[in-house]
């Protein structure tokens, strides 16, 4: 018998690749943080002996979910300003709160809160865009979370940098700081076409190409954004980015709710990806991403939650369900986004967009052991005809029992193993009291 570190026996293994596959009574053998083999349980018992053996008789093992777009530290702004349009939400509430409160301590505490929430929801990797990415990287590393750090770029001064040149310079320093970390990678992250001018966009694209990392940007989020861009420079934002040379397989375009058929066809030729954030789009009334058309055009579509200030959670199970249901309604076709494709969007498609598909996103030999265990034995998921459908349409993140990242057991029977839940709650309550007083004073100002 071969020795391995961990052997997980499960009722079902859903590897995502091959697509729409459910393996009954299968097991996963893990050593040195990687999947050694996925095989029938009886065969696994005969072939391997392990230091740790875990029996999950009513569970499905799926690849760890990938939140392909979020602003983790904004967890501390959850629920601060709800039921408002995007620009009112940003300009009247979120940006003033950020100007007053964002600091390295804010990012540390907010990111810890976000990672704790994501792990308890089965997320093993997130793609972030926020200030102090170096702090986010350190918090992620300490927690054992796989993370893509957005090297944010803006034209205007913030607590992180004073101008686009400094944003780019500090971003490259962060990239160098984490370049040897197996869990932490980076992406150039110009915020949006309306907050970043042409030359910084060109430079961000150049660095993404040179470093072979993604370029992560909010794009075509609202009709207002597109209309204002046309009025200012006679171009829709997508065309402007194409003219600046940003269209490439590195490009991660977030939201993309305002697209013509011609734009979809042109974008497909670039090899760029789309990050769909259905619940944030719905809450801010930003519009509907034409997911079915994008997929028909061959465009890779992944899923993200956006930040909790506009969602208000980091629940990727909710995003899968919302994405599947919304796609059907928008396309007028009940078969437009099947459950298996929604799961793929939340796993392997996200990994592909982030350039991590050789590392994570599916349960295959040789890949990192980024695994989520979901309990499917409760009455809410019975009777069990199709496990993948139950995962998307009938299961919630509260059914996640265990999570591994690179073979490390970060959530064990719903308990976090690398983060102090009580300390996180205490700090979150302290921030809530300070920020709420500040927001109330801001609202009262003439």
Mean pLDDT by 10 residues, the chain (446 residues): 97 98 98 98 98 98 99 96 85 88 97 98 99 98 98 97 98 98 98 97 98 98 96 95 97 98 98 98 95 98 96 97 98 97 98 98 98 97 97 98 98 98 98 83 62
In terms of domains, do 251 and 267 share one?
yes
Asked whether residue 438 is domain-assigned, the answer is no
In terms of domains, do 134 and 241 share one?
yes
Asked whether residue 433 is domain-assigned, the answer is no
Asked whether residue 437 is domain-assigned, the answer is no
In terms of domains, do 78 and 101 share one?
yes
In this structure, what token pair is assigned to residue 441? 């004073």
| pLDDT computed for residue 444 by the predictor | 63
Q: Which residues of 263-289 are buried (b: 16+ CB within 10 A; e: fewer)?
A: bbebbbebebbbbbbbbbbebbebbbb
| pLDDT computed for residue 91 by the predictor | 86
Asked whether residue 74 is domain-assigned, the answer is yes
In this structure, what token pair is assigned to residue 242? 């194409």
| pLDDT computed for residue 445 by the predictor | 64
In terms of domains, do 15 and 38 share one?
yes
| pLDDT computed for residue 93 by the predictor | 85
In terms of domains, do 273 and 377 share one?
no
Half-sphere exposure of 279 (CA within 13 A, CB side): 22
Tell me the CATH number at 79. 3.20.20.140
In terms of domains, do 25 and 146 share one?
no
Backbone φ and ψ of 23, nearest 5°: -105, 115
Asked whether residue 399 is domain-assigned, the answer is yes
Asked whether residue 435 is domain-assigned, the answer is no
In terms of domains, do 162 and 182 share one?
yes
In terms of domains, do 81 and 224 share one?
yes
In terms of domains, do 222 and 321 share one?
yes
In terms of domains, do 255 and 394 share one?
no
Asked whether residue 343 is domain-assigned, the answer is yes
| pLDDT computed for residue 301 by the predictor | 98
Backbone φ and ψ of 257, nearest 5°: -90, -15
Domain that includes residue 87, residue range: 65-353
**Domains of the chain: total:** 2
Contact 28, 369 (CB under 8 A): yes
User: Going by C-beta distance under 8 Å and a sequence separation of 6 or more, which residues neighbour residue 166?
Assistant: none
| pLDDT computed for residue 443 by the predictor | 61
Tell me the CATH number at 407. 2.30.40.10
In terms of domains, do 341 and 404 share one?
no
Q: Listing from the earlier edge strand, what are the strands of the sheet with 273-276?
A: 65-70, 123-128, 146-153, 184-190, 215-219, 251-255, 273-276, 301-303
Asked whether residue 430 is domain-assigned, the answer is no
In terms of domains, do 301 and 403 share one?
no
């Amino acid at each position: 018998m071969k020795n391995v570190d961990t052997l997980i026996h499960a009722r079902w293994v859903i590897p995502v690749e091959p697509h729409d596959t459910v393996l009954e009574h299968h097991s996963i053998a893990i050593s040195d943080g990687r999947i050694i083999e996925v095989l029938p349980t009886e065969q696994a018992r005969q072939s391997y002996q392990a230091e740790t053996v875990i029996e999950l008789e009513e569970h499905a093992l799926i690849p760890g979910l990938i939140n392909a777009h979020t602003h983790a530290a904004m967890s501390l702004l959850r629920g601060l300003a709800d039921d408002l349009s995007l620009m009112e939400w940003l300009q009247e509430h979120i940006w003033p709160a950020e100007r007053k409160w964002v600091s390295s301590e804010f990012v540390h505490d907010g990111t810890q809160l976000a990672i704790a929430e994501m792990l308890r929801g089965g997320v093993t990797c997130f793609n972030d865009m926020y200030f102090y990415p170096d702090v986010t990287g350190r918090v992620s590393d300490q927690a054992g979370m796989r993370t893509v750090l957005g090297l944010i770029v803006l034209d205007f001064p913030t607590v992180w940098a004073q101008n686009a040149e400094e944003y780019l310079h500090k971003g490259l320093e962060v990239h160098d700081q984490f370049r040897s970390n197996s869990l932490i990678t980076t992406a150039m992250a110009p915020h949006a076409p309306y907050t970043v001018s042409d030359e910084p966009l060109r430079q961000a694209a150049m660095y993404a190409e040179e470093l072979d990392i993604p370029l992560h940007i909010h794009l075509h989020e609202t009709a207002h954004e597109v209309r204002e861009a046309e009025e200012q420079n006679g171009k829709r934002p997508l065309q402007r980015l194409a003219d600046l040379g940003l269209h490439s397989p590195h490009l991660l375009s977030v939201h993309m709710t305002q697209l013509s058929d011609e734009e979809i066809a042109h974008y497909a030729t670039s090899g760029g990806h789309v990050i769909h954030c259905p619940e944030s789009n719905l809450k801010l009334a930003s519009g509907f991403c034409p997911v079915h058309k994008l997929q028909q055009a061959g465009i890779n579509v992944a899923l993200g939650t956006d930040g909790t200030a506009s969602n208000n959670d980091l629940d990727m199970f909710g995003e899968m369900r919302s994405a599947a249901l919304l796609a059907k309604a928008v396309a007028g076709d009940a078969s437009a986004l099947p459950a298996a494709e929604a799961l793929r969007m939340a796993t392997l498609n996200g990994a592909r967009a982030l350039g991590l598909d050789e590392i994570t996103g599916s349960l295959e030999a040789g890949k990192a052991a980024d695994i989520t265990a979901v309990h499917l034995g409760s009455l809410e998921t019975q009777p069990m005809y199709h496990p993948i459908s139950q995962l998307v349409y009938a299961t919630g993140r509260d059914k996640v029992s265990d999570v591994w990242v690179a073979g490390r057991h970060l959530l064990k029977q719903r308990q976090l193993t690398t983060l102090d839940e009580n300390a996180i709650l205490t700090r979150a309550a302290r921030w809530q009291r300070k920020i709420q007083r500040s927001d109330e004073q801001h609202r009262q100002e003439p």
